[in-house]
């Protein structure tokens, strides 16, 4: 992500990263977005059977922890895996990519993100 000035920030960043990874829903969301590319909350809402507020909160945690980037276009917010990812976050994504867990089918309603 970025370089750190003090040890406080470095530790906080590490804990924010591991905290984001310590939730089944967020692991599924990361794997799903990594697999399918940029999408909106509403696409996740249609694919996963979860409340919008729940998804929005989890996505915010993934964004704030450096895993996702956002591109807004009108009323849609497209979330995708952030590039570049720092080393450890990338290693985590690769670990999640290798996890043999099943994901729901992608039911996309937003237009493809072209920005």
Partner DNA sequence: GATATATAGATAAAATATCATATATATTTT
Partner DNA sequence: AAAATATATATGATATTTTATCTATATATC
Binding site for DNA (CB under 7 A): 19, 22-23, 25-26, 40-43, 45, 50-54, 56-61, 70, 73-77, 109-110
Could you say which of 101, 105, 114, 115 contacts a second copy (CB under 8 A)? 101
Q: Which residues contact residue 23 at a Cβ distance below 8 angstroms, ignoring those fewer than 6 apart? A: 58, 61
21 binds, among a second copy, DNA, none (CB under 5 to 8 A by kind): a second copy
84 binds, among a second copy, DNA, none (CB under 5 to 8 A by kind): none
Q: Is 55 in the site for a second copy (CB under 8 A)?
A: no
CB of residue 61 to a second copy, shortest distance in Å: 12
Q: Is 53 in the site for a second copy (CB under 8 A)?
A: no
d(CA 38, CA 69): 9
Cα atoms in the 13 Å half-sphere on the side-chain side of 35 = 17
d(CA 94, CA 89): 9
**Residue 35 and residue 47 in contact, taking contact as beta carbons nearer than 8 Å:** no
Number of helices (H), then strands (E), belonging to the chain: the values are 5, 2
18 binds, among DNA, a second copy, none (CB under 5 to 8 A by kind): a second copy
């Amino acid at each position: 992500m970025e370089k750190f000035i003090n040890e406080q920030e470095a530790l906080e960043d590490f804990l924010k990263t591991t905290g984001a990874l310590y939730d089944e829903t967020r692991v599924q969301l990361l794997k799903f977005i990594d697999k399918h590319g940029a999408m909106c909350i509403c696409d996740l809402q249609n694919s996963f059977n979860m409340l919008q507020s729940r998804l929005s909160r989890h996505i915010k945690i993934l964004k704030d922890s450096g895993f996702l980037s956002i591109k807004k276009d009108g009323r849609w917010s497209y979330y995708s895996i952030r590039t570049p990812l720092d080393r450890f976050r990338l290693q985590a994504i690769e670990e999640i990519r290798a996890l043999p867990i099943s994901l729901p089918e992608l039911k996309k309603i937003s237009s493809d993100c072209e920005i």
